Chain A
């Protein structure tokens, strides 16, 4: 069965610090990988996704993620965070042509001004 692990439950950073959030998945087949963000009081928004091609994908708001197949990882990065990045971040995976997403537990990011 598919599963997704996010290593950090709560990350606290100062503005301008670099961010890396870990995500590992467990699935034997070909998968699509996603990062979603949920700002306080808002619904889920797609940050970025990977399904083929260049393993380094760029998303909105300066975020990027790298797919490392050998490590079953899809870590999210941002070189310099802003206070407005304070949110909950979810890694998700689905099997090809099957949209039932499996979500990680989420990482709460708090950015101090």
Chain B
């Protein structure tokens, strides 16, 4: 299994500002993903963080709004840019085991935009 640490665990931000969320894994992993869980809703995949190349975004998510970095196999960041109250959500980092048989999740970052 993988242990995932996310920082910050929660934050309250002013609209128009940006927040960068960090995800650190205790072992090297091939697959890293970022999800969003809006209040009372399910998880939606934002993007796959690719090491050494640009992230792969899902429909409805764009790099200008959610820039992602993946400098190595144990670390990734997600930035929520130019925030609005609609961005209030829990953002989760996830890693895969490379076989598709399990995914591990961080504890999430609870973001509130005021």
Interface of A toward B, CB cutoff 8 Å = 32, 34, 43-44, 46, 49, 51, 90, 92, 94-106
**Contact between chains at A44 and B105 (CB < 8 Å):** yes
B residues adjacent to A (C-beta < 8 A): 31, 33, 41-45, 48, 92, 94-103, 105-108
CB B1 to nearest CB in A, in angstroms, measures 10
Bound-complex Cα distance A44 to B90 (A): 12
- Contact, CB under 8 Å: B99 / A97: yes
Interface pairs (29), CB distance under 8 Å: A32-B101, A34-B103, A43-B92, A43-B105, A43-B106, A43-B108, A44-B92, A49-B101, A49-B102, A51-B100, A51-B101, A90-B43, A94-B96, A94-B100, A95-B100, A97-B98, A97-B99, A97-B100, A98-B100, A99-B96, A99-B98, A99-B102, A100-B96, A101-B43, A101-B45, A101-B103, A103-B44, A105-B41, A106-B42
A96 to B15, CA, bound (A): 40
Given A90-B43, A101-B94, A32-B100 contact (CB < 8 Å): yes
Q: Known contacts being A43-B105, A99-B33, A99-B94, is A106 close to B100, with CB within 8 Å?
A: no
Bound complex: CA A111 to CA B107 (Å): 25
Whether B101 pairs with A100 at a CB distance below 8 angstroms is no
CA distance A32 to B102 in the complex (A): 9
Closest A residue to B1 by beta carbon equals A46
| Inter-subunit contact B33/A100 (CB<8 Å) | yes
List the B residue with the shortest CB-CB distance to A6.
Answer: B42
A103 touches B43 (CB 8 A): yes
CB contacts (< 8 Å) of A94 on chain B: these are 96, 100, 103
Q: A97 CA to B96 CA in the complex, in Å?
A: 9
